[in-house]
Structure 1
Amino acid sequence: MVDVAKPGERIPIASDHAGFELKERLRLALAEMGYEVEDIGTHSTASTDYPDYAHPLAQEVSEGQAARGVLLCGTGLGMSYVANRYPGVRAAVAWNPDVAALARKHNDANVLVLPARFVSDEDALAILQAWLTTPFEGGRHQGRVAKIERDESEADASGSTT
């Protein structure tokens, strides 16, 4: 596997209450790997609403302020729903390293979403490492990824609005 990790790169990370404890472990691991970590929150296990944390992270990635980011919630689903509403964001829920690697290789996933209630700390670190170090293959996958983004004129031409 080609190492595409970029120590010094700023990576925002965010979670709701269900992902807080794992977020803290991954935040420290990212810092130990040499990344500049931006902790968007939450900052405790007190009940919170996942969109409050997914929106700011996804906006940063969408606007190019960060190349990629990490989100965590209980299942990963809520965070992924929010993040994938932003242009240019490809948030992938990954529950093992193989899924994380394929999300990078084939889909150029720029937001990793972890289901904190369903992965161990050890597995989460392995998933994060696979996602950080796997490059996008491009080639035949480039055109497929390009089809994810649609502007209004494309939507009008197809007869669909979404």
Structure 2
Amino acid sequence: MKIFIASDHAGFALKRAILEHLRAAGREVEDLGTHSEESVDYPDFAHTLAARVAREAEARGILICATGIGMSMAANRHPGVRAALCHDAYTAEMARRHNNANVLCMGGKVTGEAVAKQMVDIFLATPFDGGRHARRVAKLEAKDE
């Protein structure tokens, strides 16, 4: 599974910690920026990552800004992207099981490093349940068209 990760300046420190965590686990991850704590505009990074995830069916993305709100709003403007703002292990699991989310969004100023790593691991390992949930996700995709 290809994993893309991006952040703005407010999410940079947490992104760096998650990158180290994923690489230590042997995961293939591509860092799409930002590469410092210098102020940048979060939509630029959300749009870049969302476009990549939308093109690669099996890819997953991770976006981090101060709260995760802006990143999720920007990413969800892309057809085929289902970005979920998560705050804990349960929301990360349900984003995958029930919503087939392909982008995990979180807040670098509101999510601790240990919780963030746990969310990432769960998000990447959890399958989509399908069934009645597939019907609902299809309605999301139909709205994109």
TM range (shorter): over 0.9
72, 78, 92: which one aligns with 2:84: 92
Note the residue ranges of structure 2 that are not aligned, 5 or more in a row: none
What is the count of residue pairs matched by the alignment? Answer: 145
**Other structure's SS at 1:14 match:** strand
How far did 1:24 drift? 0.3
State the distance in 2 between where 1:60 and 1:130 align.
22
Counterpart position of 1:20: 12
Counterpart position of 1:74: 66
Q: Which amino acid aligns with 1:73?
A: C
State the distance in 1 between where 2:45 and 2:102 align.
16
**Other structure's SS at 2:105 match:** strand
Please state if 1:107 is matched with 2:99. yes
Please state if 1:36 is matched with 2:53. no
1:101-136 per-residue CA deviation (whole Å, 9 max, x = no partner) reads 000000000000011111111111111111111110
Larger radius of gyration: 1
State the distance in 2 between where 1:66 and 1:133 align.
13
Q: For the aligned residues, what is the CA RMSD?
A: 1.5
Please state if 1:124 is matched with 2:100. no
33, 42, 45: which one aligns with 2:37: 45
Q: TM-score, normalised by structure 2?
A: 0.95
Q: Which amino acid aligns with 2:26?
A: G
State the distance in 2 between where 1:145 and 1:65 align.
15
120, 125, 139: which one aligns with 1:147: 139
Is contact 2:4-2:59 (8 Å) kept?
no
State the distance in 1 between where 2:133 and 2:127 align.
12
- The alignment-based identity, stated in percent, is 51
How far did 1:66 drift? 5.7
State the distance in 1 between where 2:57 and 2:36 align.
26
State the distance in 2 between where 1:35 and 1:10 align.
8
Q: TM-score, normalised by structure 1?
A: 0.85
1:10-51 per-residue CA deviation (whole Å, 9 max, x = no partner) reads 211000000000000001111111111111000111111001
Counterpart position of 1:10: 2
**Other structure's SS at 1:45 match:** coil
How far did 1:150 drift? 2.4
**Other structure's SS at 1:35 match:** coil
Is contact 1:91-1:110 (8 Å) kept?
yes
